[in-house]
Amino acid sequence: MENIVKKNDSAICGTDMRFQAAVNLCGDGICFTDMDGNVEIVNHAWAKMHGYDKEELPGKPFQIFFSEKVFTTTVQSFLDKLSQEGLVSGELQHMGLGDLTFHAWVLAQELKDSNGNKQAHIFIAHPMGERERALREKEENYRVFLEDASIAFFMMDLDGQYTYTNKAGERLSGYTLEEAQSQKISFLQLICEEDRERILRDFQLVAEGVPNAGSRTYRFRDKAGNLKYAEVNTLPITVGGTIAGFHGTVMDVTQRIDAATRLQRARSFEALSALANGISQSFNASLSKVIGFSELAMEHLEKDHPVYPAIMEILKESSLSKDLVKRILQAGAEAEQHAQPLRLQTMVDNVLHYMRSTQPKNVKMLLDMDPSCEPILASSSEIQQVLMNLYANACQAMAERGGTLSLSVKPFLLDKIGSSRYARLSPGRYVQLVVRDTGVGMDEETIRKAFEPYFTTRKGSDGLGLWICHGVVRRHGGEIDIHTELGKGSTLTLLFPVCSPDVSMPSTAQSVELCPQGLLRLLLVCNETHQIHSRLEPLWEIGYRVMIFHDVLEAYSVFEQWHDSFDVAILEMDLLKTSGMEMIQKLRAKKQDLQILVMGKEFPSQETDPLFQARCEFLQDPVSHEDLIRAIPPIP
């Protein structure tokens, strides 16, 4: 046993001697300190660079190698970091005997025993010349630039595994470099499956030395599953003439793509709206005749007449068609709007009160209404239509498997940064409505077409719901945005600008009382492009019936046959320039008490003018809805 102990002691002594020899022979300075910061061992290089003999340094405080200012401002934080992390490196300014100063790159590590208890610190210092210091400074500046850059930088091997990414890259993907490496998250795994073949082909071209044609855009999903768009620029990493990997930049262009998509959607919407409005107005004029003649026929037929049910069916279908035209005109911003200050949260409560009975039993409702939301300036009927459409869409999306419908109304402050997402909107205060469901969601093709008229994926739907919502929201100075994922649900976000403080509710004296009691019939003769077409829809809703003609002779022919059924004639001045008085005289001859309104921009100022003599009344163009209501007789 004694021989074994002697052999072990001899081996340990030999190992210790070899270690000390290696330390002394090392060209870099090495210093061991205890946990109190006192020097235990230094090698020749450490002692020489500081101007000491190595034998006189054990027991001295470590801070003698630095000026008081440097130790306080730099070294102390270096030691604090060492205590926290266990291994640090960095450039430190040393001071030797005679106040000699020099710079060295220092690597420091904590030493622990087999039980994990801290025992000592080791410092390895490499003196730096001016050239090396300048190179280190450039490297550090470049590292800081990369880490703090807003654009993501990456490096990866040929298997697509990350070897480096900066903070911007970590924010973009949601993975830290350590997570990506430990979980073996490759660059390709983040790319959407639809774009993987394309990006592999592009990387192959880079590897084959094909000149880089610039950045390419790909779709990818971050750690949280969010769909994003990235603009990637890639170059090869070559070692000894052989490609060892790739490096490049990644820029998040999601907001730019979304803004471009919204802009394209807006342009398409405006073009389709203009087309739809033109067609709808012409169709509306024809419908007014169909409805008018049907009603006239029914007034002169007994209910038991064999044709009566057929005419009634014509009237029913024509009314449905007219309602469809009304919805198209509303979406196209051609209908006369009656906006007033209203609270969006109150509108949501009112709509939900009436729609609760249609809510599927397997759908749960969550509400989050902030009472501090300011009023918005809006048409209550149109906002109600938007809310009903969104509610119905969400319930239908969850009808089969159920889910949760969440509605929230909250204040929203759009700053200059946020306004880049909503390019049409100015920075300021808005009210935000969010409608979120956990239904079937939409694929990307459906999202692209979601706001197009007549596009639908559901049986029995006319495909106008979201198109109308889009038009109403934009007409109110707001914006609508959609985020959806197939199988997980959809979220629609609507922004409405708050009402200006100087806008108040209209007083009772200013408002027009509209209480339908009976039915009056109007004969309208005007050009197809006259703006009065957009003022007629409210008249239908309160009981007036308008038959529209664009030809004077056709209008008179109808009036001649049915003159007792008309109460008011509205004539456009431009159509009366050649035979105006003759037309008016014929109308008067058929019906003495007929009210005749003439629309125009300029009217005769003298009472001797024939129009005055014919007891005509005048409406100044452009004619507002209120002007029209006040000019015609009330519903009896």
Decide if 505 is inside a domain.
no
Range of the domain at 240: 149-252
In the numeric block, the tokens 């692209």 are attached to: 448
8 Å CB contact between 214 and 238: no
Decide if 175 is inside a domain.
yes
8 Å CB contact between 545 and 570: no
Alpha-carbon distances of 484 from 262, 396, 443, 454, rounded to whole Å: 15, 15, 8, 20
Cis peptide before 622 (omega within 30 of 0): yes
What is the rounded CA–CA span in Å between residue 563 and residue 556? 9
Q: Where is average pLDDT lowest: 99-113, 203-217, 400-414?
A: 203-217
Decide if 90 is inside a domain.
yes
Question: Is the domain of 474 the same as that of 529?
Answer: no
Token output for 150: 């807003």
Return the pLDDT at 280: 62
Q: What percent of the chain shows pLDDT beyond 90?
A: 17
What is the rounded CA–CA span in Å between residue 358 and residue 391? 10
Question: Is the domain of 367 the same as that of 312?
Answer: no
Confidence of residue 47 (pLDDT cuts 50, 70, 90): very high
Question: Is the domain of 169 the same as that of 185?
Answer: yes
Q: What is the CATH number of the domain that holds 526?
A: 3.40.50.2300
84, 116, 140: which is the final residue of a domain?
A: 140
Token output for 156: 């990866």
The candidate with the shortest Cα–Cα distance to 614, out of 632, 633, 587, is 587
The candidate with the shortest Cα–Cα distance to 222, out of 234, 232, 230, 231, is 230
Token output for 426: 């100015």
How would you classify residue 415: left for phi > 0, otherwise alpha for psi between -120 and 50, otherwise beta?
beta
8 Å CB contact between 207 and 213: no
Q: What percent of the chain shows pLDDT beyond 70?
A: 75
8 Å CB contact between 527 and 572: yes
What is the rounded CA–CA span in Å between residue 572 and residue 621? 10
Q: What is the mean pLDDT of residues 70-95?
A: 92
Q: What residues contact residue 495 under an 8 Å CB cut-off, 6+ apart?
A: 412, 414, 422, 425, 430, 431, 432, 433, 478, 479, 480
Decide if 636 is inside a domain.
no
- From the CB of residue 627, how many other CB atoms can be counted at a distance below 10 Å? 15
Task: Point out which residues pair with 569 in neighbouring strands.
Answer: 523, 596
Q: What is the mean pLDDT of residues 572-589?
A: 78
Max mean pLDDT among 131-145, 230-244, 310-324, 600-614 falls in: 230-244
8 Å CB contact between 523 and 552: no
Return the pLDDT at 287: 76
- From the CB of residue 561, how many other CB atoms can be counted at a distance below 10 Å? 11
What is the rounded CA–CA span in Å between residue 469 and residue 390? 8
Return the pLDDT at 107: 92
Beta strands 520-525 and 568-572 are: parallel
Alpha-carbon distances of 561 from 314, 524, 555, 589, 621, rounded to whole Å: 21, 16, 10, 13, 30
The total domain count for the chain is 5
Is the pLDDT score of 66 beyond 90?
A: yes
Decide if 503 is inside a domain.
no
450 or 208: which leads in pLDDT: 208
State residue 543 phi and psi, 5-degree precision.
Answer: 115, -5
Q: Which long-range contacts (CB under 8 A, 24 or more apart) does 190-196 make?
A: 190/220, 190/221, 190/222, 191/218, 191/219, 191/220, 192/218, 192/219, 192/220, 192/221, 192/227, 194/219, 195/219, 195/220
Mean pLDDT rounded to a whole number for the chain: 79
Question: Is the domain of 375 the same as that of 476?
Answer: yes
What is the rounded CA–CA span in Å between residue 569 and residue 585? 12
252, 271, 298: which is the final residue of a domain?
A: 252
Task: Point out which residues pair with 236 in neighbouring strands.
Answer: 246
Is the pLDDT score of 434 beyond 60?
A: yes
8 Å CB contact between 376 and 495: no
Q: What residues contact residue 506 under an 8 Å CB cut-off, 6+ apart?
A: 340
8 Å CB contact between 121 and 61: no
Return the pLDDT at 244: 87
Max mean pLDDT among 78-92, 337-351, 404-418 falls in: 78-92
Max mean pLDDT among 10-19, 466-475, 602-611 falls in: 466-475
Confidence of residue 628 (pLDDT cuts 50, 70, 90): confident
Q: Where is average pLDDT lowest: 5-19, 80-94, 120-134, 252-266?
A: 5-19
Q: Where is average pLDDT lowest: 54-58, 554-558, 619-623?
A: 619-623
Max mean pLDDT among 35-44, 92-101, 134-143, 595-604 falls in: 35-44
Question: Is the domain of 414 the same as that of 469?
Answer: yes
What is the rounded CA–CA span in Å between residue 230 and residue 250? 6
To the nearest 10 degrees (0 to 180), the angle between helices 254-299 and 465-475 is 110
pLDDT, one tens digit per residue, over 554-568 is 888 888 888 888 888
Q: What is the CATH number of the domain that holds 63?
A: 3.30.450.20
370 or 459: which leads in pLDDT: 370
What is the rounded CA–CA span in Å between residue 464 and residue 324? 9
Task: Point out which residues pair with 4 in neighbouring strands.
Answer: none
Confidence of residue 5 (pLDDT cuts 50, 70, 90): very low
183 or 579: which leads in pLDDT: 183
pLDDT, one tens digit per residue, over 294-342 is 877 887 788 888 888 888 888 777 777 766 666 555 555 444 456 788 8
Confidence of residue 458 (pLDDT cuts 50, 70, 90): low
Question: Is the domain of 351 the same as that of 483?
Answer: yes
8 Å CB contact between 510 and 308: no
Amino acid at 618: F
Return the pLDDT at 193: 85
Is the pLDDT score of 604 beyond 90?
A: no
Return the pLDDT at 212: 61
113 or 273: which leads in pLDDT: 113
Return the pLDDT at 324: 64
Question: Is the domain of 399 the same as that of 487?
Answer: yes
Token output for 493: 């976000």
Return the pLDDT at 1: 41
Return the pLDDT at 335: 41
| Chain centroid to CA 237 | 37
Q: What is the mean pLDDT of residues 97-102?
A: 85
pLDDT, one tens digit per residue, over 468-522 is 788 788 888 888 888 888 888 899 999 999 987 655 544 433 333 333 334 678 8
589 or 324: which leads in pLDDT: 589
In the numeric block, the tokens 């009314």 are attached to: 319
To the nearest 10 degrees (0 to 180), the angle between helices 465-475 and 380-397 is 140
Task: Point out which residues pair with 498 in neighbouring strands.
Answer: 376
Question: Is the domain of 85 the same as that of 157?
Answer: no
Return the pLDDT at 505: 44
Question: Is the domain of 480 the same as that of 543?
Answer: no
What is the rounded CA–CA span in Å between residue 363 and residue 394? 10
Question: Is the domain of 486 the same as that of 398?
Answer: yes
Give the three-state DSSP class for 498. strand
Task: Point out which residues pair with 247 in neighbouring strands.
Answer: 155, 235
For the chain, how far is it from start to end, CA to CA, in angstroms? 126
Question: Is the domain of 239 the same as that of 131?
Answer: no
Decide if 515 is inside a domain.
no
Return the pLDDT at 552: 83
| Chain centroid to CA 604 | 54
Decide if 363 is inside a domain.
yes
- Indicate the pTM of the whole model: 0.40
The candidate with the shortest Cα–Cα distance to 533, out of 296, 317, 277, 318, is 277
Question: Is the domain of 228 the same as that of 326?
Answer: no
Angle at the Cα of 350 (from 347 to 353), degrees rounded to 5? 150
The candidate with the shortest Cα–Cα distance to 485, out of 518, 520, 428, 438, is 438
331, 366, 391: which is the final residue of a domain?
A: 331
pLDDT, one tens digit per residue, over 373-403 is 999 988 887 888 888 888 888 888 888 888 9
Token output for 88: 């640090």
8 Å CB contact between 163 and 182: no
Residues making up the chain, counted from first to last: 636
In SS3 terms, 52-101 reads as: CCHHHCCCCEHHHHCCHHHHHHHHHHHHHHHHHHCEEEEEEEEECHHHCE
Decide if 512 is inside a domain.
no
